[in-house]
Structure 1
Amino acid sequence: MDFHEFWKLVLEEAAAAPGNAERRIVTFHDPRQYAGALSQWKSLKSRRPGLRRVKVSPLIRAFFVPAAGAVKLVQRYSEAVAVEEDLRIQIHSHTQSPAANKNSHSLPWGVRAIRAPQAWSRSTGVHIKIGVIDTGADFLHPDLKSSLASGVNLLHRGMLPIDDNGHGTHIAGTLAAAGGMRGMMGVAPRSLIYPVKAFDHTGSAFVSDIVLAIDWCVQNRIDLINMSFGMKSRSNALHDVVVKAYRAGIPIIASSGNDGKRGGDYPARYSEAIAVGAIDRKRRVASFSNHGSYIDVYGPGENVTSCWPKEGYKEMSGTSMATSHVTGAAALLLALRPGITPRELKLALRRTSSPLLLRKGQRRATLGGGAVDAMRLLRARARRPTGAGSAPRMPG
């Protein structure tokens, strides 16, 4: 393969692309050809400014290139590479409103509902590193100061992943806030959040940003990944990187989406992920939550109060909020059982979940798993199941 010619063609495609509006993910099938293309790119980019816009994921052997259609790339190198559109992906927020009295939120209802406080005598999630792929975090929030590591800003390398949206701060608060009696407490208050800023101020990202975020988490040996976002379309590149994290032993916990339908968004629908739906205060599937047999577990997701930028608090609803409760419970278990695999964690979450209350016309079998219960999860300590029960989705 002529790598110089390959990059010449990429530059031609980039010149035809309207700004940053069009991007393509180019994945090499052969590791040796990827290595050759990577070496050539490194030697060329200092002389060809257009190549500096290219980003790289070593984990899935991919380049993310500005390109209008990449028709010539597909035609000339179809046997060597796979080319797909770099799709947009959105955070899963539903509704939000201010929460004025912060002193009343030391234990939000969701943290109590999953029985996290009762579990703290056994585990507080100490030393568990949680990658939160989101909009960043508020590093000045008093409830999060002791819970945040520096993380990474994939949109502006070299800068802290400061939250300019609020969603990431809200997720971090439910996960690991440690404000004591003066602020709020999250599910796993002694775990450590690594904010991975992949989403902009509007809550939007490209699939390539998510691939780079998971790549960073794998390279930095993160223990657990929270992904409160999704999209309707499948992406081979996104699935590939989720599989890579799974094989590296890093569980990915993902929100199913807020369409109120049977079915759901990707990446939650990939069998290697742990798919989360939302429940309300009555332990029923929330009206906005997606549902179905692929859902592994449900978490509190309606009117959840958590941290907000500028030392604030906000009430939000969505499967995003449910996912942070489940990830927090998983962190409690991982602190007791550091070697647990993603498959074992999924089994444990499903096996120890509590039954849901059904709405009129609902059948339990169509909903998937039950409600997350931190105490039951820790008591089980991820023992392998011996009795009957609904089997979770497992990768083939």
Structure 2
Amino acid sequence: MESHQGGQRFTFLYQNESRVERFLELGCQVEYVGSYTPMITATVSSWNQMKQIERDSELVHVESERSLQLLPYELKNVYTKRRLVKNRQKGEVVPWNIRRVLRGQSRSFTGKGIKVGIIDTGIDFNHPDLSQNVQGGVNIIEPGKPPHDLNGHGTHISGVIGAAVNQLGIIGVAPDVSLYAIKVLNKKGVGSLSDLVRGIEWGISNNMHILNISISGGKVSPVALEKAIQVATRRGIFVVAAAGNAGQLSGKGDTVEVPARVPNAIAVAALSKSNKRASFSATGSTVDVAAPGVKVVSTYPGMKYAALSGTSMAAAHVSGVLALFKQKHPKASHASILKRLFASTKVLSSSGRNTLTGRGLVQF
């Protein structure tokens, strides 16, 4: 590492207790101190500083900052409400993908009382199909500013999970769920590993039941991220992650990306309308389940709706279904609800669980 103005950001993990005072003594800029994992994210500007930090016997691991980005997705069409409902005089559209995961059940369970943190680009708080369900959030990348969505992806995910029943637009999987925007990606869909970890810790601190993540982080699993997801899971939080959109057309190979390939994350593959694996959907032994992910119509910034394709859309369905299970079984353990989720799947392969669609189509 060369000494240069601005320095380089690292995350330092400790055995028992982090030593923030040491960083301040050395003149390092401390960005974040872990709330649940003994870690510090700081900017180090010289080799001398790094050598001094590494002398601490409690230090067990050092990770350099890593850039993350949205999983690439396909945008098909953008609609106004009028174009969406077309000839209907009133009422809402229940898209094919929502019907697919609900098995035609009555709306006895709607996700009411369940908190879902959407770790993404933010949410359009003013969208008429979302405003009554968005309960708050945090802007990790620009602290103090509202976590508004300047990209569109986070708003789309939010609608799949929890677009309200309000005689407008569409209905989400869990239309009474409480949505929280945890903004870790900018308007270009770019963010950092340390901000993702901070977003997960915010979700833990604010008692989220479910965290939904649709981020591309490569194949190497960062220790700090593993620790954060492990803590969330131990506290009963479901971490749902899109498997990735870099799958081979043949369906061969291990192409699942971080954070979906991190232990304890629920990795979700994408299905087409015919319940076949989407051609882009990542494959591998870590794929847990699958859900609709092709031409999924949902909310979009500016009072609009859009049809998007990607495993991000698939993951949102799973988060919505988990909210329904959580409401139906409020006293059930994390393991018990996860078991119910997996047992609910519609098997899509004669061989059972496979590397393409996991256990199959999630349903409630």
Same fold (TM over 0.5): yes
Choose which of 309, 326, 329 in structure 1 pairs with 2:321. Answer: 329
The answer for the alignment partner of 2:67 in structure 1 is 88
The answer for the alignment partner of 2:243 in structure 1 is 256
Q: Does 1:313 align with 2:305?
A: yes
Q: Which one is further off, 83-92 or 237-246?
A: 83-92
Distance 1:371 1:353 in 2: 5
Deviation at 1:234, TM superposition (A): 1.3
The answer for the alignment partner of 2:89 in structure 1 is none
Change (3 A) 1:355 1:126: same
Distance 1:371 1:227 in 2: 19
The answer for the alignment partner of 1:98 in structure 2 is 77
Q: Does 1:110 align with 2:97?
A: yes
Distance 1:99 1:156 in 2: 28
Q: Which one is further off, 312-321 or 84-93?
A: 84-93
Change (3 A) 1:196 1:208: same
- Structure 1: which 5+ runs fail to align? 1-12, 375-396
The CA RMSD over aligned residues, in Å, is: 2.5
**CA displacement 1:153-211 (0-9 Å, x = unmatched):** 11122221000111100000101011533211110000000110011111111111011
Contact 2:352 2:359 in 1 (8 A): no
**CA displacement 1:322-374 (0-9 Å, x = unmatched):** 0000100000110111233333333222221012268xxx9963432100111
Distance 2:245 2:40 in 1: 31
The answer for the alignment partner of 2:156 in structure 1 is 170
Contact 2:16 2:58 in 1 (8 A): no
Distance 1:191 1:17 in 2: 47
Q: SS of 1:84's equivalent?
A: strand
Q: Does 1:207 align with 2:193?
A: yes
Contact 1:286 1:302 in 2 (8 A): yes
Distance 1:78 1:201 in 2: 41
Equivalent AA in structure 1 for residue 245 of structure 2: N
The answer for the alignment partner of 1:365 in structure 2 is 354
Contact 1:285 1:356 in 2 (8 A): no
Equivalent AA in structure 1 for residue 37 of structure 2: I
Equivalent AA in structure 2 for residue 83 of structure 1: V
Distance 2:193 2:149 in 1: 19
Contact 1:251 1:341 in 2 (8 A): no
Q: Does 1:62 align with 2:54?
A: no
Distance 1:17 1:110 in 2: 51
The answer for the alignment partner of 2:285 in structure 1 is 293
Contact 1:175 1:189 in 2 (8 A): yes
Distance 1:284 1:176 in 2: 25
Contact 2:157 2:313 in 1 (8 A): yes
The answer for the alignment partner of 1:6 in structure 2 is none
Change (3 A) 1:63 1:300: same
Change (3 A) 1:365 1:309: closer
Choose which of 335, 338, 351 in structure 1 pairs with 2:330. Answer: 338
Q: Which one is further off, 97-106 or 66-75?
A: 66-75
The structure richer in helix per residue is 1
Equivalent AA in structure 2 for residue 128 of structure 1: I
The answer for the alignment partner of 2:258 in structure 1 is 266
Deviation at 1:292, TM superposition (A): 2.7
Choose which of 344, 348, 357 in structure 2 pairs with 1:356. Answer: 348
Distance 2:46 2:169 in 1: 50
The answer for the alignment partner of 1:384 in structure 2 is none
Q: TM-score, normalised by structure 1?
A: 0.81
**CA displacement 1:125-149 (0-9 Å, x = unmatched):** 0010001100000011010010101
Contact 1:245 1:251 in 2 (8 A): yes
Deviation at 1:260, TM superposition (A): 1.2
The answer for the alignment partner of 2:209 in structure 1 is 223
The structure richer in strand per residue is 2
Alignment coverage as a number of residue pairs: 347
Change (3 A) 1:38 1:169: same
Q: TM-score, normalised by structure 2?
A: 0.88
Deviation at 1:79, TM superposition (A): 5.0
Distance 1:17 1:79 in 2: 27
The answer for the alignment partner of 1:131 in structure 2 is 117
Contact 1:93 1:167 in 2 (8 A): no
Equivalent AA in structure 2 for residue 181 of structure 1: Q
Distance 1:364 1:81 in 2: 37
Q: SS of 1:314's equivalent?
A: strand
Distance 1:267 1:220 in 2: 21
Equivalent AA in structure 1 for residue 208 of structure 2: I
